[in-house]
Amino acid sequence: MRKRSRTVALTILGAAAFTVAGCREEQVEAQAFPDLASCQAAAAQGGLFTAAECDQAFAEAAALHVEAAPRYDSLEVCEEQHGAGNCGSEAQQAGGSGSIFMPLLAGYLIGSMLGRATAGQAAAQPMYRNAQGGYTNAARTTNFGSNTGRATVSGQQFTRPAATAGQAPMSRATAASRGGFGSTGSSPARSSGG
């Protein structure tokens, strides 16, 4: 009996070690750019991405912005979350309602996602200003100190955020109950030169 118990314990321990190893997050080379021209300039200098990947990733991030940017019921609430001058109407940015407000795009985070359909294909996320003067992604998973720079980040940074288009916009109360846009998630990502 004792011998069998030891075997079971080793099997469980081995399974636990395998599970922990399987939970490691994929790390991705990523770079943040304030606009498409900056990405294309970096591509011309032999950067992390080609000009074609810049074009594709920026189009993807712009579409994601229209679909999943945070939406607010007033300009004041939007600016409380993203800073003065960093918001505009949904009608101006996404062709929606003039009474709903969204943060303006403040940049794009592009990552080399090896697990996508084509190896090395880029993936992108829109970046927004937060009230603290930094930047955050649409999913609110990470705060960034800058919208320029290169770093290795978790592949989770490129998880598609929930759609907000057609949903009720956040009011001051709902924004406050969520801790404010960009104030939750992991510690601020650091980027190094760009």
Higher-pLDDT residue of 116, 118: 116
pLDDT recorded at residue 66: 93
Residue 174 has pLDDT above 50, yes or no: yes
Tens of pLDDT, residue by residue over 127-159, are: 999 988 899 888 777 888 999 998 888 877 788
Cα distances (Å, whole numbers) of residue 23 to 14, 34, 108, 138, 161: 14, 32, 27, 24, 21
pLDDT category at 54 given cuts 50, 70, 90 is very high
Residue 121 has pLDDT above 60, yes or no: no
- C-alpha 70/C-alpha 121 separation (Å) is 26
- C-alpha 111/C-alpha 32 separation (Å) is 9
Residue 6 has pLDDT above 60, yes or no: no
Write 50-58 long-range contacts (CB < 8 A, 24+): 53/110, 53/121, 53/122, 54/110, 54/122, 56/121, 56/122, 57/108, 57/110, 57/122, 57/123, 57/124, 58/108, 58/124
Residue 106 has pLDDT above 90, yes or no: yes
Higher-pLDDT residue of 177, 23: 177
